[in-house]
C-alpha cells in the first residue's frame, strides 16, 4: 500500500481506479460526467454529489495526462461509508462510459483500507524508532561511523522491475532515488546507510529506469571517468533525470568512503548546469545539439532569473564605466555622447513600454486560464473561445509546430520561452498566456504575451 496521508479522520477506505478516454478532456469534464451519469441510478442518499456534499465521500482526486488524442490517468475517491456502501460507489463509478462526446472506460484497481495502511505506517515507524534508540544507546562506547556501517549491513540488495535491476530496499518507498552504474555501487552505498538506490546494470537504459525517471526525482551518481560520461549521455537522450553527481575525476563510486560520498551528493547539480568530465563540455551544449528541449523547460525560471540578474549587474557596471570616462572628455564629445545616450534611452523606454503593455484578456479566456493552472498542460483556443487541443507543457512546442488549424490564443501552465513565442508569432497566435516568463529579447509585433499573475 502507498504511504498515503489523509486530512479527514473519518476516512475509512480509498477507492483507486484507472480511467481511459478516447479524446482530450479536462478534469472538470470528468467530474461532471461522474456526477451527471450516476445521478438517478441509486437512491438520493447514495448519489455521489449528495455524499460529497454531506462529507461521506471526500474530494475526487484526478491525475490525468493527454497524449496522442486520448486521456489516461487515475481516480482516487476517499470514503467514510461502510464496506458494502463503498463497494456500491466503486461499481457506480465504473459504470460511467462517456465523458462529453468521448467514450470512456473506468476500471477499479483496488480499495485501500486506510486504517490498515495507517497501522502499517505506525508499525514501520515504531521499528525505525527502536533501531535509532539502539544506536543512541551504543554511541557512548562505539564510533558512530562503525555503528552506521553495522546497522546498514542489515539492508540487503533487492531486485527491482522485470529486468531484476540491483537496488536498495528504499527503492520501493522513497520519492527520491539515486541512480548508480552497477551492483558494487549499491553495495557500497548500503554500507553507509543509503538505501534509496537503483543500478543501471549496463550502458543501455532499461524501461524500468525510464519509468522511474518520469515518476520520481532521480539523481545520477556516476563514476568520474569517460564511462560515466557515456552513461550520462544515454540517460539524457532516453530519460528525464533531474540532478547529476560525479565522483572525483578518475574515481569510482564503489571505492569512495562515506565522507567522499556525502561530499559528492551535496555537490550535485541540475543536469543543465553540469559538465562532462572527460570532455570538459557543458551538458547544456549536448542537450541543444540533440534537441532535448524538455531539460531546458524542466529547469524552469531559476537559471533564467540568475542569468538575467548577472547580465543586469554587468550592464550596470559597464554603464558606470562609460559615465566615468565621459567626464574627462571634451564638451563637444560629451554633447555627441549625450545625444547618443538619449537615443539609446528612448529605445530602451520604447522596449520597456513594449514589455510592460498589459493586453486585454477576454473573460472567456480568463475562465480557460483558471482551469489550466496547476495542470502542467497547454491549451489551444480559437477565435470563438473554444478549446481545440490540450497537450502537456513538454509537448507544446512540437504540437504547435505541427498544428494546421487556426488558433488565436495559446495558454500554457509553464514558461513562455523566446522559442515558443517566436513560433506562436509564425502561427499568427494573437495572445500567449503562461505561468512564467523566460528571457525575451525579440518581441513579436502582432503577438502579445502575459503571465497569469498579471491578468
pLDDT tens digits, 20-61:
999 999 888 998 888 888 888 888 888 888 888 888 898 899
432-448 b/e (C-beta count within 10 Å ≥ 16 → b):
bbbbbbbeeeeeeeebb
Q: What is the pLDDT of residue 124?
A: 85
54-88 b/e (C-beta count within 10 Å ≥ 16 → b):
eebbbebebebebeeeebebebbbbbbbeeebbbe
Place of cell 557500497: 188
Q: Is residue 221 part of a domain?
A: yes
Q: How far apart are CA 21 and CA 410, in angstroms?
A: 23
Question: Residue 16: which of 92, 93, 110, 107 has the closest Cα?
Answer: 110
CATH code of the domain containing 438: 3.40.140.20
Answer yes or no: are the C-beta atoms of 414 and 435 closer than 8 Å: yes
Place of cell 473554444: 386
Considering the domain architecture, whether residues 179 and 111 belong to the same structural domain is answered as no
Considering the domain architecture, whether residues 293 and 162 belong to the same structural domain is answered as yes
Spatial neighbors of 379 by CB under 8 A, at least 6 apart, are 368, 372, 387, 389, 390, 410, 411, 412
Considering the domain architecture, whether residues 162 and 87 belong to the same structural domain is answered as no
Q: Is residue 76 part of a domain?
A: yes
Considering the domain architecture, whether residues 108 and 17 belong to the same structural domain is answered as yes
Which of 68-82, 220-234, 339-353, 394-408 has the least mean pLDDT?
339-353
Torsion of the alpha carbons at 198, 202, 208 and 211, rounded to the nearest 10: 90
Q: What is the mean pLDDT of the chain?
A: 81
By percentage, how much of the chain surpasses pLDDT 70?
Answer: 79
Q: Is residue 2 part of a domain?
A: no
Q: Is residue 136 part of a domain?
A: no
Mean pLDDT calculated for residue range 73-90? 92
**Model-wide pTM > 0.75:** no
Angle subtended by helix axes 144-152 and 183-191, to nearest 10 = 130
Enter the C-alpha cell of residue 14: 480509498
Q: Is residue 261 part of a domain?
A: yes
Considering the domain architecture, whether residues 181 and 284 belong to the same structural domain is answered as yes
Q: How far apart are CA 207 and CA 412, in angstroms?
A: 29
- Relative to beta strand 102-113, strand 13-21 is antiparallel
Considering the domain architecture, whether residues 266 and 370 belong to the same structural domain is answered as no
Q: For the chain, how many structural domains are there in total? A: 3
Mean pLDDT calculated for residue range 65-94? 91
CATH code of the domain containing 284: 3.40.1360.10
Q: What is the pLDDT of residue 453?
A: 85
Considering the domain architecture, whether residues 281 and 395 belong to the same structural domain is answered as no
Q: Is residue 418 part of a domain?
A: yes
Q: Per-residue pLDDT for 114 more than 70?
A: yes
Torsion of the alpha carbons at 208, 210, 216 and 217, rounded to the nearest 10: 130
Answer yes or no: are the C-beta atoms of 432 and 414 closer than 8 Å: no
Which of 95-104, 191-200, 350-359, 411-420 has the least mean pLDDT?
350-359
Considering the domain architecture, whether residues 86 and 186 belong to the same structural domain is answered as no
Q: How far apart are CA 184 and CA 193, in angstroms?
A: 15
- Relative to beta strand 269-270, strand 275-276 is unpaired
Considering the domain architecture, whether residues 102 and 163 belong to the same structural domain is answered as no
Enter the C-alpha cell of residue 377: 498542460
Considering the domain architecture, whether residues 106 and 165 belong to the same structural domain is answered as no
Q: Per-residue pLDDT for 134 more than 80?
A: no
Domain boundary pick from 244, 267, 298: 298
Domain boundary pick from 55, 89, 116: 116
Considering the domain architecture, whether residues 290 and 163 belong to the same structural domain is answered as yes
Enter the C-alpha cell of residue 431: 495572445
Answer yes or no: are the C-beta atoms of 236 and 214 closer than 8 Å: no
Q: What is the pLDDT of residue 297?
A: 64
- Relative to beta strand 197-199, strand 176-180 is parallel
Q: Is residue 343 part of a domain?
A: no
By percentage, how much of the chain surpasses pLDDT 90?
Answer: 26
Which residue range is the domain that position 367 belongs to? 363-454
Strands (E), 82-175: 98-99, 102-113, 158-160, 165-167
Residue 57 per-residue DSSP state: B
Q: Is residue 346 part of a domain?
A: no
Considering the domain architecture, whether residues 162 and 290 belong to the same structural domain is answered as yes
Q: Per-residue pLDDT for 131 more than 80?
A: no
Q: Per-residue pLDDT for 157 more than 60?
A: yes
- Relative to beta strand 431-437, strand 409-416 is parallel
Answer yes or no: are the C-beta atoms of 220 and 241 closer than 8 Å: yes
CATH code of the domain containing 43: 3.30.70
Domain boundary pick from 116, 141, 173: 116
Mean pLDDT calculated for residue range 286-291? 82
Q: What is the pLDDT of residue 350?
A: 45
Amino acid at each position: 500500500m502507498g504511504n498515503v496521508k489523509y486530512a479527514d479522520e473519518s476516512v475509512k477506505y480509498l477507492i483507486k481506479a484507472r480511467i481511459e478516454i478516447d479524446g482530450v478532456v479536462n478534469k472538470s469534464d470528468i467530474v461532471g460526467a461522474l456526477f451527471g451519469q450516476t445521478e438517478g441510478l441509486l437512491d438520493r442518499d447514495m448519489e455521489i454529489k449528495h455524499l460529497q456534499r454531506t462529507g461521506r465521500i471526500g474530494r475526487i482526486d484526478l491525475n490525468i495526462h493527454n497524449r496522442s488524442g486520448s486521456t489516461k490517468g487515475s481516480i482516487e475517491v476517499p470514503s467514510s461509508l461502510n464496506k458494502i456502501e463503498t463497494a456500491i460507489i466503486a461499481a457506480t463509478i465504473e459504470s460511467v462510459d462517456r465523458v462529453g462526446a468521448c467514450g470512456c472506460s473506468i476500471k477499479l484497481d483496488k480499495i485501500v483500507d486506510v486504517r490498515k495502511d495507517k497501522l502499517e505506517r505506525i508499525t514501520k515507524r515504531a521499528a525505525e524508532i527502536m533501531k535509532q534508540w539502539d544506536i543512541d544507546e551504543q554511541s557512548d562506547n562505539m564510533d558512530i561511523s562503525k555503528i552506521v556501517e553495522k546497522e546498514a549491513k542489515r539492508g540487503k540488495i533487492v531486485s527491482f522491475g522485470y529486468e531484476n535491476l540491483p537496488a536498495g530496499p528504499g527503492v520501493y518507498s522513497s520519492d527520491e532515488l539515486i541512480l548508480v552504474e552497477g551492483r558494487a555501487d549499491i553495495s557500497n552505498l548500503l554500507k553507509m546507510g543509503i538505501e534509496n538506490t537503483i543500478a543501471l546494470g549496463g550502458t543501455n537504459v532499461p524501461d524500468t529506469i525510464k519509468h522511474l525517471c518520469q515518476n520520481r526525482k532521480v539523481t545520477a551518481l556516476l563514476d568520474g571517468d569517460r564511462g560515466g560520461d557515456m552513461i550520462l549521455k544515454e540517460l539524457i537522450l532516453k530519460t528525464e533525470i533531474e540532478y547529476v553527481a560525479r565522483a572525483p575525476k578518475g574515481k569510482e563510486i564503489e571505492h569512495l568512503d562515506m565522507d567522499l560520498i556525502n561530499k559528492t551528493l551535496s555537490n550535485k547539480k541540475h543536469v543543465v548546469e553540469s559538465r562532462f568530465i572527460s570532455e570538459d563540455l557543458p551538458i547544456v551544449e549536448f542537450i541543444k545539439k540533440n534537441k532535448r528541449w524538455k531539460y531546458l523547460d524542466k529547469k524552469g525560471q531559476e537559471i533564467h532569473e540568475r542569468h538575467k540578474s548577472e547580465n543586469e549587474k554587468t550592464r550596470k557596471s559597464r554603464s558606470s564605466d562609460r559615465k566615468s570616462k565621459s567626464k574627462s572628455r571634451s564638451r563637444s564629445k560629451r554633447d555627441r555622447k549625450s545625444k547618443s545616450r538619449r537615443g539609446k534611452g528612448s529605445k530602451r523606454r520604447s522596449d520597456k513600454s513594449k514589455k510592460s503593455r498589459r493586453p486585454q484578456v477576454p473573460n472567456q479566456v480568463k475562465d480557460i486560464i483558471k482551469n489550466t493552472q496547476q495542470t502542467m498542460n497547454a491549451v489551444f483556443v480559437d477565435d470563438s473561445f473554444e478549446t481545440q487541443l490540450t497537450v502537456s507543457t513538454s509537448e507544446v512546442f512540437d504540437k504547435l509546430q505541427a498544428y494546421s488549424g487556426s488558433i488565436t490564443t495559446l495558454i500554457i501552465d509553464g514558461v513562455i520561452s523566446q522559442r515558443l513565442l517566436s513560433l506562436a508569432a509564425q502561427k499568427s497566435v494573437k495572445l500567449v498566456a503562461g505561468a512564467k516568463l523566460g528571457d525575451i529579447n525579440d518581441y513579436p509585433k502582432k503577438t502579445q504575451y502575459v503571465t497569469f499573475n498579471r491578468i
